[in-house]
Amino acid sequence: MKATGKGPKLLRLNNQKRVLTLLRTLRVTSRQDIAQALLLSKNTVSLIIDEMLENGLIDELGPVSVSAAGRPKIEISLRPEKLTSAGIMVGHQAIHWCVCDYFSRIVVEGNWRARMTQPSAALNELGRCCGEMAQKHPELIGIALGFSGIVDPLRGWMHLSSWPGWQDVDLLTPLRRHLAVPLCVMNNVQAAALLSVQQLQLPAEKSHFYLRVAEEIGGALVQRGEVFNGNSWTAGAAGHLTVQPEGPRCRCGRRGCLEAMIGQTAIEQQLAQRQAGLSWQQRDSAPEIVAEVMTQAGAFLGKAISQIMLLLNPASIIVDCPWNDHPAFCAAARETAEAGMLRFILEHTAIHFLPARIDAANGLALAVIEQYEQRIA
């Protein structure tokens, strides 16, 4: 879909995007139902659907049996394999990538090891890999690359990253030399946030806060289907909320940050301090010690959650954390959040502890789709 000029052509393009979004959401619908849902004329919808049929993007499934008189509805569905997107998550020493269909289902994925110490060499390698991916998947509508750190997605600029130690790096220019498909860059946690909202089928018109616990802890606020970046692209940095003023020093230089208390490195250190050789992987060997550590970690998370509720007032808080497997962690987080929160706010905020980790590469591929569907002003 390409816009040429203003006026009717632009209006038609934006209507196509609206129809595509609805088809992705509903999976199966009809011309009549699309026209009613989007407040478009039946003729406008029919022209758009006919073009999609001609381009092989949708299938007609046949008439819906109805008892009422009149022309029966013909059900239609998107062919998700005809529009694919790719996400590439750049990690510490490895890169995880996936290609997804238009319903965010992974078609193919993989990993490769890469040295990310020198920006120009690393970006040239990433660009070469993107070019190969585009050749293998000509139906790609775009590729998104995710990085840790402070990323300006509009400019395509890395302001600062604790690893691989990059600062003030132009990400997009060297990548665009290698391919013609649309490219975007963003923070990994923000991409995962988009996917978490979709997977939980949360209302798009409301705001939702996603909190991801790994070696680092990050967060992102999704408002009306879009990530809120903030003025300095650091909105959602929940890992640096203070939850224990006299706690250990965080990598940011402050004491008692959430990341320093319940990040992966912090928890592994706490387990080993209580019993030599004990780790999360061997947690079943010392259940009482692990329960004690998890209860304390959950309480720290609960303090952070209560701050997020007060400051942002989201409809949902989504916790993506390896410690979600332990019931004491989730229980302590809920109890502490509830103890420090107004009842009215609690009644209007849902807390979700995800049973499985979100694949940030899959979220990056979703970001491509949502960018593809954005209206043009």
CATH number at residue 270: 3.30.420.40
Within this chain, do residues 217 and 252 fall inside the same structural domain, yes or no? yes
- pLDDT of 62 reads 87
| Structural domain total, the chain | 3
Give the position of tokens 């659907």: 49
Residue after which a domain boundary falls, among 51, 78, 105? 78
CATH number at residue 16: 1.10.10.10
Within this chain, do residues 223 and 336 fall inside the same structural domain, yes or no? yes
Within this chain, do residues 265 and 327 fall inside the same structural domain, yes or no? yes
Is residue 258 within 8 Å of residue 214, measured between CB atoms?
A: no
**Distance between CA atoms of residues 295 and 287, nearest Å:** 12
Strands 84-90 and 350-353, by their bridges, are unpaired
DSSP classification of residue 249: B
**Distance between CA atoms of residues 334 and 344, nearest Å:** 15
Within this chain, do residues 66 and 162 fall inside the same structural domain, yes or no? no
Residue 132, domain member (yes or no): yes
> 10 Å Cβ neighbour count for 59?
14
Q: Which residue has better confidence, 69 or 40? A: 40
Give the position of tokens 């301090």: 273
**Distance between CA atoms of residues 254 and 243, nearest Å:** 11
Residue 224, domain member (yes or no): yes
Within this chain, do residues 177 and 233 fall inside the same structural domain, yes or no? no
Given a cut of 80, whether residue 92 has pLDDT beyond it is no
Within this chain, do residues 121 and 210 fall inside the same structural domain, yes or no? no
> 10 Å Cβ neighbour count for 65?
7
Is residue 364 within 8 Å of residue 6, measured between CB atoms?
A: no
Residue 377, domain member (yes or no): no
Given a cut of 70, whether residue 1 has pLDDT beyond it is no
Within this chain, do residues 184 and 106 fall inside the same structural domain, yes or no? yes
Residue 59, domain member (yes or no): yes
Within this chain, do residues 94 and 209 fall inside the same structural domain, yes or no? no
Name the residue range of residue 139's domain: 83-192+361-372
Say if residue 164 is preceded by a cis peptide, omega within 30 of 0: yes
Task: In the chain, count H helices and then E strands.
Answer: 12, 16
For the stretch 192-250, pLDDT in tens is 999 999 999 999 999 999 999 998 999 999 998 899 999 999 999 999 999 999 999 99
**Distance between CA atoms of residues 126 and 123, nearest Å:** 5
Residue after which a domain boundary falls, among 78, 103, 126? 78
For the stretch 135-153, pLDDT in tens is 999 999 999 999 999 999 9
Within this chain, do residues 157 and 107 fall inside the same structural domain, yes or no? yes
For the stretch 280-336, pLDDT in tens is 999 999 999 999 999 999 999 999 999 999 999 999 999 999 999 999 999 999 999
Within this chain, do residues 20 and 158 fall inside the same structural domain, yes or no? no
Within this chain, do residues 156 and 224 fall inside the same structural domain, yes or no? no
| Banded pLDDT at 165 (limits 50, 70, 90) | confident
> Across the chain, what does the average pLDDT equal?
93
Residue after which a domain boundary falls, among 78, 112, 137? 78
Within this chain, do residues 172 and 255 fall inside the same structural domain, yes or no? no
